[in-house]
Amino acid sequence: MARGTSPELIALQHDAEDAGLQFAIATSAGQLAGLVTAADELVVISEGLFADPEQASALLEGRSPVVVVQPVEGALAAGFERIDINRATAGLMRVPGALVERLHELPVDVDAVSALTRIALQSGIAMREVPAAARTGSGWRMVRSEAEAYALEDEWMRARFAQEGPRTPGRTVARFAVLSFGSSLLHAGNASNVVSAAVLGAVAIAAGAGWFGFMWCAFAFLAIAWLLVEASRLLRATERHALGQACPAIPRADALVWLVDVGFAALILLDTPRFMGEPVIAWLCTPVILLLLLLLLPRVATGRFAGLFGDRALLGLILGFASGLGQVLVVVRLLSVALVIAALVLPRRRDG
C-alpha cells in the first residue's frame, strides 16, 4: 500500500523482482482487494510502525490468524487506534485473504488498514497482546513525523549500545562517536564498510610513522584504529540486527583487532634493539607474550578490570608515552607482568 510511486518504491520493486518475488503497488483499498485472493494470507503492518523484528515475528507465529493489540493506556497518545475500552491496535496483524473482499463494500477513500482491522475483529479473529517487555522504551512505537523518526533512532541506538561490551575508556569513546555520527553513516547504507576502511587507513599511517621513527605518533594512530574497530563492531551489529543476519563465526571486527595487534607487535619490535647474536625467537618473545596475554585475559577473567586490560586505545596511549621517554621495552615487560597478576587475582570466568 502506498500513496503513489516514488524512486525508493521503484528501487524496492526492482530488488524484489530480482529476487524472484512478485511486487505490486496498491494506492487504494479497492486496488488491494483486486490483488488478494481468498487463498492468500495477508500480513498487515501499519504505516510508521517501529518494532523489533524478532518480537513482531514471534507474535505472528502459529497457524491461526491474529490481530496484535496492546493496552489502551498511552497507546492513543502514541498514535495507535482504539479497538475497545481496554485495548488499542498494535499496528500488526495476519488475516485471511478472503476478508479483503469486504473492502469492496466500503467507500473508496476508506483507510484500508483500519477497515481491515475492524473486519478481522468482527469476523472473530483472535487478539494477541504485545508483551510489556516488548513495549518498553523504543521497542514498539508509531512514527508520525521525520522529527519523531530521528528522535526514536537516537533513543534506540542509546538503548542498544548501552549494554554492548564492558565499559572501558576506549569503548566509551567509540560508543560516543557512534551515537554522534553513526546515524549519518547508517542512512548512507555503508556504515561498517566505511569505518572498516578507515581502520585500514589508520593502520597504514601508523606503519608509515613507525617506519620513519615517529613511534609516539604510530602508537597513537593504532589507538585510533582500535577505536574505529570498536565503532565498526557496533555499527555492524546494528546492520545485522536490522537485516536479520546472524553473527558470523569470526566477525570482521575481531579480524581487524588482530590486525591492530600485529601493528602493536611490529612497532614494539621496531622500538626494541636486537643485540648481536640474539636469537630471533628471543627478540620476538616480548611483544608476542604481551599480545597473547591481552587476548587470554578476557577469556579467563571477568569483572570491570578484565575489560580494561583489553582496551587497546589505552595500550596505544601508554606505549606512545613510553616511546617518548625511550622506555617501550621496560613498559611492555611491566604490562606483561601486570596481566599475569591480573589473571591470578581477578574473578574467574565460568563458562556454561
Q: How far apart are CA 27 and CA 210, in angstroms?
A: 62
Residue 223: the pLDDT is 96
Q: Is residue 162 predicted with pLDDT exceeding 70? A: no
Calculate mean pLDDT across residues 98-121: 88
Contact, 25 vs 5, CB < 8 A? yes
How open is the CA angle 39-45-47, to the nearest 5 degrees? 135
Contact, 330 vs 322, CB < 8 A? yes
Q: How far is CA 177 from the centre of its chain?
A: 14
Q: Is residue 188 predicted with pLDDT exceeding 70? A: no
Residue 312: the pLDDT is 92
**HSE-CB of 175 using CA atoms within 13 angstroms:** 17
| Residue 284 DSSP code | H
Residue 166: the pLDDT is 66
State the pLDDT confidence band at 189, using cuts at 50, 70 and 90.
Answer: low
Calculate mean pLDDT across residues 34-47: 89
Query: Measuring CA to CA, which residue among 284, 287, 335 is closest to residue 309?
Result: 335
Q: Is residue 164 predicted with pLDDT exceeding 60? A: no
Q: Is residue 344 predicted with pLDDT exceeding 90? A: no
Q: Is residue 26 predicted with pLDDT exceeding 70? A: yes
Kindly list the distances between the CA atom of residue 228 and the CA atoms of 20, 194, 231, 256, in Å, as whole numbers in the listed order.
Answer: 38, 10, 5, 10
The backbone torsions φ and ψ at residue 160, rounded to the nearest 5 degrees and listed phi first, read -70, -40
| Residue 15 DSSP code | H
- The crossing angle, in degrees rounded to 10, of helices 280-300 and 252-270 is 140
Return the C-alpha cell found at 274. Answer: 636486537
Return the C-alpha cell found at 243. Answer: 537485516
pTM over 0.85: no
Calculate mean pLDDT across residues 79-87: 91
The owner of cell 513495549 is: 135
The owner of cell 602508537 is: 219
3-state secondary structure of 93: strand
State the pLDDT confidence band at 186, using cuts at 50, 70 and 90.
Answer: confident
Residue 298: the pLDDT is 81
Please state the domain extents for the chain.
7-142, 146-345
Residue 149: the pLDDT is 84
Kindly list the distances between the CA atom of residue 238 and the CA atoms of 37, 151, 191, 245, 299, in Å, as whole numbers in the listed order.
Answer: 37, 17, 10, 10, 24
3-state secondary structure of 104: helix
Residue 101: the pLDDT is 87
